[in-house]
Structure 1
Amino acid sequence: MPLPRNRETTLLDVYSILQSAAATAYENTDNQTGPNRKVAMGVVHLIELAQLRMDAMLNELSVSANG
């Protein structure tokens, strides 16, 4: 059974927000040095972890929707 349209749209919106946050964090990292760069890279890694979890959830939902 496919996801209800509003739930699917919400998940895709969250994924898009994570992509934007990652791009912003990467840009910020490029402009930092020393400890500030390490903090910025920490943010990048947290966003990447969230993206991986979102990918896994979307894949599980897709598999269960397709039977």
Structure 2
Amino acid sequence: DDVDQWVHRVKRLSELGLEEEASELEQSLVELTRNDPDLQQQFLRSLLQDAGRQASDPGEDD
């Protein structure tokens, strides 16, 4: 599943101490899924559950 792979990559970067890269990938994926709210929610949910990360949607405050 694509979402599982995305979450795994973000989590792995973080585990390697590459927090800035993990955050950049996380935000890029949030932005790329903006036009597919279901996919975006699935990604955000998996990110929180599987990687313990809380991503914010940079477009929330528009």
Superposition TM-score, scaled by structure 1 size: 0.39
Q: Who wins on radius of gyration, i.e. which is larger? A: 1
- Larger RCO of the pair (alpha carbons < 8 Å, separation 6+): 1
More helix by share: 1
